[in-house]
Amino acid sequence: MNENKTDHETATFANGCFWCSEAIFKRLNGIKSVLPGYSGGQVKNPTYEQVCTGRTGHAESIQIEFDPKVMNFEKILDIFWRTHDPTTLNRQGNDIGTQYRSAVFYHDLKQKEIAEKSKRDLENEGVYKDPVVTEIAPFSGFYVAEDYHKNYYDEHRDAPYCSYIIDPKVHKLLLNYGNDVRADYK
């Protein structure tokens, strides 16, 4: 987290294709920015092509800047858990590979504790029939994706991937979290 600013915090997640994740989280009240990128690996400044090989250790990720007074980390985690399948290892739908794993990259011990509790609560609620395999790991860096990945959904709404994969996730967000969605996205 950036300790110099009290009006925002940072969260970094991996939950499948970053086009989907960006489309969901940028629609929420209190979210200041969402960037697609790569996190969790050992290669510095990886390219999309390198990440796709599965040899960088990175996952397609998003980094969110948010106002905790409007949208707290607990609520963001709740949306994270319920807008992807955290029970599939290295896979989201037809996207397969370690770059599509589910992960919370915590920025401090408070985020770690909240993420671990949130994961336990999710498992205890029995939301999913299979165990949650989401990795909860310390944040070690984030590399912003190439420009053509930014705002992908909003700029390519007619693309088949957007129509068939992202649209249903956005509609689910509106249905389940409508009060948390920014007015300009309703």
DSSP string, 81-136: HHTS-TTSTTEETTEESGGG-EEEEESSHHHHHHHHHHHHHHHHHT-SSSPP--EE
Q: CA-CA distances (angstroms) from residue 126 to 120, 135, 172?
A: 10, 18, 19
The yes-or-no verdict on residue 33 having pLDDT over 90 is yes
Domain span at residue 118 reads 9-179
Sequence letter at residue 162? C
- Residue 4 in any domain: the answer is no
Q: Does residue 17 sit within a domain? A: yes
Beta strand 95-96 with 102-106 is unpaired
Active site residue 162: no
**What whole-number percentage of the chain has pLDDT above 70?**
97
Q: Give domain status of residue 1, yes or no.
A: no
Asked if residue 44 is part of any domain, the answer here is yes
| CATH number, position 57 | 3.30.1060.10
For residue 174, is it within any domain?
A: yes
Token digits of residue 185: 């996205």
DSSP class of residue 166 equals: I
Average pLDDT (74-85) is 96
What's the total number of domains in the chain? 1
Going by pLDDT thresholds of 50, 70 and 90, the confidence category of residue 186 is: confident
Residue 1 pLDDT > 70, yes or no?
no
**What pLDDT digit, counting tens, does each position of 133-151 carry?**
999 999 999 999 999 999 9
Using CA atoms, how far apart are residues 171 and 32, in angstroms rounded to an integer?
21
State the CB neighbour count (10 A cutoff) for residue 163.
Answer: 12
| pLDDT tens-digit map of 46-78 | 999 999 999 999 999 999 999 999 999 999 999
**185 is a domain residue:** no
Question: Per residue in 100-137, pLDDT tens?
Answer: 999 999 999 999 999 999 999 999 999 899 999 999 99
Give 68's contacts (C-beta < 8 A, 6+ positions apart): 8, 9, 30
Dihedral class, residue 151 (left if φ above 0, else alpha if ψ from -120 to 50, else beta): left
Does position 163 have pLDDT exceeding 80, yes or no?
A: yes
Asked, for residue 119, whether it belongs to a domain, the answer is yes
Residue 18 lies in a domain: yes
CA distance 102 to 121: 17
Helices then strands (H, E): number in the chain?
7, 8
